[in-house]
Amino acid sequence: MRMLSCEEVLANLSDYFDGECSSEFRAQLEDHISKCRRCRVVFDSTGTMLKILVDVEPFEVPLAVSARLYSRLQEVLSEE
């Protein structure tokens, strides 16, 4: 199996996480990661970051913003 360069691993990181790599390329990438500490760190923490992003559901609607939305909609909808 050809050893990928760190640049190739990095360039294809997104496609790997999005499931868009061929199984052959996936295997090459995983092989590189098992042998290269820096790429492994970037790979693992990027995966963790993606999970955290979904878990925390950032940016709540501020209460006042939400209240103004409903009163505006009430106004507009009652005119239609």
Q: Report the nearest approach of another protein to the CB of residue 20 (Å).
A: 8
Site for another protein in 26-65 (CB under 8 A): 37-38, 40-42, 44-46, 48-62, 65
In whole angstroms, give the CA distance from residue 47 to residue 45.
5
Q: Two tokens at 1?
A: 């199996």
CA pseudo-torsion sign 27, 29, 35, 37: negative
| Of the candidate residues 17, 27, 30, 35, the single one contacting another protein (CB under 8 A) | 17
80 vs 63: CA distance, rounded Å? 26
- Which residues here bind another protein, judged by CB under 8 A? 10-11, 13-15, 17-18, 37-38, 40-42, 44-46, 48-62, 65-66, 68-70, 72-73, 76-78, 80
